[in-house]
């Protein structure tokens, strides 16, 4: 379920906002936005998977590598361009996880 702006969950100053594309939200109980503690990208994505286990198979392969049709941005930076899952994700950052959508 998408959270209305005036009903957003309370979150700590040290949290990161995670935004899911609509196609992925169905694997996260309908949530398109939620907050997790800041840390490395790996720690953030592990927390996302812990909260929403069904997302793991939609976002990463069995080794943990992102699937080719999934894009993840930390702020405006594509995580693939940042070089390592150990890159720090600062408090109050946004992590956007999107899957490609095909259509005709």
Domains of the chain from N-terminus onward = 5-99 (3.10.20.30)
CB count within 10 Å of CB 65 equals 11
As to burial, measured by CB atoms within 10 angstroms (0-12 exposed, 13-18 middle, 19+ buried), residue 32 is middle
Q: How confident is the model at residue 9 (pLDDT cuts 50, 70, 90)?
A: low
pLDDT band at 3 (very low <50, low <70, confident <90, very high): very low
CA dihedral defined by 51, 57, 58, 64, rounded to 10 degrees?
A: 90
Query: Could you give the maximum distance between any two Cα atoms of the chain, in Å?
Result: 42
pTM of the model: 0.83
pLDDT in tens, 13-57: 789 999 999 999 999 999 999 999 999 999 999 999 999 999 999
Retrieve residue 50's tokens: 């812990």
């Amino acid at each position: 379920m998408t959270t209305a702006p005036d009903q957003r969950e309370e979150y700590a100053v040290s949290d990161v906002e995670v935004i899911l594309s609509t196609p992925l939200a169905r694997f996260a109980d309908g949530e398109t936005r939620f907050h997790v503690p800041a840390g490395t990208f790996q720690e953030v994505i592990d927390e996302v998977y812990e909260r929403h286990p069904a997302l793991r198979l939609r976002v990463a392969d069995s080794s943990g590598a992102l699937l080719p049709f999934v894009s993840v941005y930390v702020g405006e930076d594509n995580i693939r361009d940042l070089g390592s899952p150990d890159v720090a994700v600062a408090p109050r950052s946004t992590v956007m996880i999107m899957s490609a959508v095909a259509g005709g």
